[in-house]
Amino acid sequence: MEALFQAMIGGLVLGLIYVAIAVGLTIIFGTLRLVNFAHGAFYAIGAYVGLVIAQHIGVGWAFVAAPIAVALFAVLLDRLVLRLFYDKEPTAQLLVTFGIALVVEETLRLIFGATTQQYAMPASLQGSVTLGPITYPAYRLLFAGGVIVMLALVWLFIERTNYGLIVRAGIRDRIMVQLLGGNIHQASTIVFALGAAIAGLVGAAATPIYSIDPATGFAFLVPSFVVVVVGGLGSFWGAVLGGLLIGELQSLTNLAYAPASNVVIYLCMALVLLLRPQGLLGESEVIRQ
């Protein structure tokens, strides 16, 4: 019983990381029509920037520096490389973002070595909290709460601001936005930077929980893609639902029969694709070019 409860909270924390990465993937796909295999690299860069800043300056600053650094990196990447691939076929985009992810991974390996790293939380956050039958590390709960607040802010930005309105319109019809005088390129850059910043921040904040090595980017990217597919490409709530589902599924399977915990998410994806190809909350309608 306690183990089950423990696994469920663990699944929530893991699921929220997936949600955060998947939300970025999904809004970037919706707005830029870009399948971004470099998104895991954003997580990894955020984690390493966070690591360095936390060790040398302080944990608080790590949470500020990581999203800013990753957003800047993303904007540069967009301006210098990805822009050339906007009008190319999806395969070319896939290859170039995959290539970027590999370059980032190898660069991190050169700078930081291949070993697993982690930074310690300040003493004030190292305690545990008693939750009914179990005690749980306080930081993990704080992390979960923080991710939820961040996702709520992202949702408010998309649903309640004028910029968000342009973004949502652009998801459906980029041409019409421009015909109305809307700056779709600027909106795209903002969405790309926002998605990257989310991944970077979560990367920095999750490192005390899940240690980091240069391959971590891909380790989180692949399940996050599963989340996007399960939830429905382009759907915010689909990413939330899919992320929590995959996180719990993985965590609970790990408890029941650990060797199956990775394969189960692909089974889940296959099942969803068979029964509801557009994903749980995806729209079946073909999105306009």
Partner 1 sequence: MTAPAVTPTAAQTRLRVDGINTYYGDSHVLRDVSLHIGAGETVALLGRNGVGKTTTLKSIVGWLKPRTGSVTLDGEELVGCEMMAIARKGISLVPEERRIFTNLTVAENLKLAQVTAQKPGWTLDHVYEKFPRLRERLTHKGDEISGGEKQMLAIARALVQDVKVLLLDEPTEGLAPLIVREVENVIREIKSAGITTLLVEQNLYSALAVADRCYIIDQGEIKFEGTPAQVRTDEDLRRRYLHV
Is 175 among the residues that bind partner 1 (CB under 8 A)?
Answer: yes
Instruction: With CA atoms as reference, report the closest residue to 108 among 40, 56, 55, 62.
Output: 40
What is the footprint of partner 1 within residues 94-133 (CB under 8 A)? none
Residues sharing a CB contact under 8 Å with residue 258, sequence separation 6 or more, in sequence order: none
Residue 131 one-letter amino acid: L
CA distance 25 to 40: 10
Contact residue for partner 1 among 86, 178, 262, 266 (CB under 8 A): 178
To which H or E segment does residue 287 belong?
none
Is 173 among the residues that bind partner 1 (CB under 8 A)?
Answer: yes
Angle at 205 between CA 15 and CA 1, to 5 degrees: 40
What is the footprint of partner 1 within residues 254-273 (CB under 8 A)? none
Is 176 among the residues that bind partner 1 (CB under 8 A)?
Answer: yes
Is 162 among the residues that bind partner 1 (CB under 8 A)?
Answer: yes
Indicate if the alpha-carbon torsion angle 124, 148, 276, 176 is positive or negative: negative
Is 156 among the residues that bind partner 1 (CB under 8 A)?
Answer: no
Contact residue for partner 1 among 62, 177, 199, 228 (CB under 8 A): 177
Contact residue for partner 1 among 182, 215, 222, 264 (CB under 8 A): 182
- By beta-carbon proximity to partner 1, the closer residue of 126 and 178 is 178
| Distance linking the first and last C-alpha atoms of the chain | 50
DSSP secondary structure letter of residue 212: B
Beta-bridge mates of residue 134: 131
Is 148 among the residues that bind partner 1 (CB under 8 A)?
Answer: no
Is 155 among the residues that bind partner 1 (CB under 8 A)?
Answer: no
Contact residue for partner 1 among 7, 9, 66, 171 (CB under 8 A): 171
- By beta-carbon proximity to partner 1, the closer residue of 59 and 158 is 158
Is 184 among the residues that bind partner 1 (CB under 8 A)?
Answer: yes
Is 81 among the residues that bind partner 1 (CB under 8 A)?
Answer: no
- CB crowding 151-162: b at 16 or more within 10 Å, else e: beebeebbeeee
Footprint on this chain of partner 1 (rule: CB under 8 A): 162, 165-166, 168-169, 171-173, 175-184, 285
